[in-house]
């Protein structure tokens, strides 16, 4: 039977990780997968997480099952972080998921159960795995234009024009902050225009929030999501704790759904059902650590301080790279690097130029020229800048 299986194209981002590992050149630079790295190239366990793990080890008395949808304390702590302290408790359903990817998957499944004929609208470009999962699910999706390659910024008029074709009950997937792969984000004013449009269309926003705290700050990065949540009657939010808590391998995510209060219980029940059908209970360890960090004032303060160090470090690298490129190119055409936010920027180089940088300089970035700013340090910024200019990008 298994000889009928066809080879699957490897995920491009994950394949790049393998290629990088296999490269023997000691000067190699990894700007591929979206994982934070410090100046020495390590992805540290955050201080507050380490402290919470120690506390948990000392106090945890059982590993028996928790609630199917995850612990209510985790839901509340995450809802407060994402939506703010005054989130509408009577309208919120929540589901602990296997990372942010699991939250996206369960959100797509929920949309399909509620409205089997819906189309899911996705930014062009988006995180490639969004498209891969939707295709695997045989779920209809359409792309809306998002990025202007010439200015490396959001092509907002084109986005709004394309979203004009959205039908009632369609789902529009938006990146809450730190757009992956471009690094180009909506302004709060533009979020307001999107909210107006989706409200008028009767469409459901679904926000993928994977990098809260990596852009302009913890609250600032949630501002668009909060605006949408305050305006639209029905909203889905798929949030990840992988990056901002540095717990990638713990697979900690959450799907939050806002409905009217009368629909809340059936929505909550459906979410729990989705976990049971797909994998039963979500992992608990990471969710428990996140809950401890968010609800203990000392741990929270420690975590916020470290997250801020990480954020400011990435901003500093952005500014250094933009300055270096400004000098080498004798132009301001790379200034967008300092304006983008989060881990990623799309450089706008061709796949051939990206390949040239890999072959000639051992610099690894995703083929669409997405680079992970956190893969740089003060020594590699000038090396990358030179390679970019030499590649003709
Ligand atoms: C990325 O975009 O690199 C990350 O979200 C990691 C992944 O799973 O692709």
Could you tell me if the CB of 180 is within 6 A of ligand 1? yes
Domain that holds residue 338: 11-45+310-391
pLDDT given at position 119: 98
Residues 231 and 288 in one domain: yes
100-109 average pLDDT score: 98
Atom number of ligand 1 nearest to Cα 14: 9
Residues 355 and 386 in one domain: yes
Residue nearest to atom 1 of ligand 1 (CA): 34
Identify whether 365 is part of a domain: yes
pLDDT given at position 310: 97
284-292 average pLDDT score: 98
Identify whether 234 is part of a domain: yes
Residue nearest to atom 9 of ligand 1 (CA): 13
Q: Strands 252-258 and 235-240: what pairing?
A: antiparallel
Angstrom CA distances, 317 to 180, 210, 380, stand at 18, 20, 10
289-297 average pLDDT score: 98
201-224 average pLDDT score: 98
Mean pLDDT of the chain: 97
Domain CATH for 325: 3.90.1150.10
Identify whether 76 is part of a domain: yes
pLDDT given at position 377: 96
Residues 83 and 225 in one domain: yes
The residue count for the chain: 393
Residues 316 and 288 in one domain: no
Confidence label for 70 from pLDDT (cuts 50, 70 and 90): very high
For the chain, what percent of residues have pLDDT higher than 90?
99
Per-residue pLDDT tens for 133-190? Answer: 999 999 999 999 999 999 999 999 999 999 999 999 999 999 999 999 999 999 999 9
Identify whether 257 is part of a domain: yes
Q: What is the pTM of this model?
A: 0.97
Identify whether 50 is part of a domain: no
CA atoms 179, 195, 106, 91: torsion sign: positive
pLDDT given at position 168: 98
Per-residue pLDDT tens for 346-385? Answer: 999 999 999 999 999 999 999 999 999 999 999 999 999 9
Confidence label for 333 from pLDDT (cuts 50, 70 and 90): very high
Structurally, the chain folds into a number of domains equal to 2
pLDDT given at position 87: 97
Q: What residues contact 342, with CB distance under 8 A and at least 6 apart?
A: 177, 178, 179, 180, 183, 185, 211, 214, 215, 314
Counting Cβ atoms within 10 Å, is residue 304 exposed (0-12), middle (13-18) or buried (19+)?
Answer: middle
Atom number of ligand 1 nearest to Cα 11: 9
Residues 75 and 207 in one domain: yes
* Cα–Cα distance measured from residue 159 to residue 4, given in angstroms and rounded to the nearest whole number: 41
Residues 212 and 351 in one domain: no
Identify whether 266 is part of a domain: yes
Could you tell me if the CB of 129 is within 6 A of ligand 1? yes
Confidence label for 322 from pLDDT (cuts 50, 70 and 90): very high
Expressed in angstroms and rounded, the spacing between residue 261 Cα and the centre of ligand 1 is: 35
**Alpha helices for 234-296 (secondary structure H):** 264-278, 285-295
Q: Which residues pair with 124 in a beta bridge?
A: 145
* Cα–Cα distance measured from residue 380 to residue 382, given in angstroms and rounded to the nearest whole number: 6
pLDDT given at position 302: 98
Per-residue pLDDT tens for 271-286? Answer: 999 999 999 999 999 9
Could you tell me if the CB of 127 is within 6 A of ligand 1? yes
Identify whether 169 is part of a domain: yes
Count the Cβ atoms, other than its own, within 10 Å of residue 151: 13
């Amino acid at each position: 039977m298994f000889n009928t299986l066809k080879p699957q194209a490897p995920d491009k981002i994950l394949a790049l990780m393998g290629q990088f590992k296999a490269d023997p050149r000691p000067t190699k630079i990894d700007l591929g997968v979206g994982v934070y790295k410090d100046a020495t190239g390590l992805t540290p366990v955050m201080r507050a997480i380490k402290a919470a793990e120690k506390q948990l080890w000392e106090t945890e008395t059982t590993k028996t099952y928790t609630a199917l949808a995850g612990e209510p304390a985790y839901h509340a702590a995450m809802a407060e972080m994402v939506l703010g302290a005054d989130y509408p408790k009577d309208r919120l359903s929540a589901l602990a998921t296997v990372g942010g990817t699991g939250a996206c998957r369960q959100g797509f499944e929920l949309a399909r159960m509620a409205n089997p004929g819906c189309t899911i609208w996705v930014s062009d470009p988006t995180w490639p795995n969004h498209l891969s999962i939707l295709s695997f699910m045989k779920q209809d999706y359409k792309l809306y234009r998002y990025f202007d390659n010439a200015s490396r910024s959001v092509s907002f008029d084109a986005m709004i024009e394309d979203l004009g074709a959205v039908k009632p009950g369609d789902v529009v997937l938006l990146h809450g902050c730190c757009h992956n792969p471009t690094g180009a984000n909506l302004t709060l004013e533009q979020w307001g225009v999107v909210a107006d449009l989706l409200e008028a269309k009767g469409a459901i926003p679904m926000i993928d929030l994977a990098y809260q705290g990596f852009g302009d700050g913890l609250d600032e990065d949630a501002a668009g999501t909060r605006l949408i949540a305050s305006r639209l009657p029905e909203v889905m939010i798929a949030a990840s704790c992988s990056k901002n808590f540095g717990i990638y391998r713990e697979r900690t995510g959450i799907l939050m759904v806002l409905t009217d209060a009368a629909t809340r219980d059936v929505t909550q029940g459906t979410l729990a059902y989705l976990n049971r059908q797909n994998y039963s209970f979500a992992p608990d360890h990471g969710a428990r650590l996140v809950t401890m960090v968010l609800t203990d004032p000392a741990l929270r303060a420690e975590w916020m301080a470290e997250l801020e160090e990480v954020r400011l470090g990435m901003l500093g690298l952005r500014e250094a790279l933009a300055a270096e490129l400004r000098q080498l190119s004798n132009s301001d055409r790379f200034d967008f690097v300092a304006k983008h936010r989060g881990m990623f920027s799309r450089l706008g180089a061709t796949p051939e130029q990206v390949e040239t940088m890999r072959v000639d300089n051992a610099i690894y970035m995703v083929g669409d020229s997405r680079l992970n700013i956190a893969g740089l340090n003060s020594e590699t910024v000038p090396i990358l800048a030179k390679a970019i200019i030499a590649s003709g990008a």
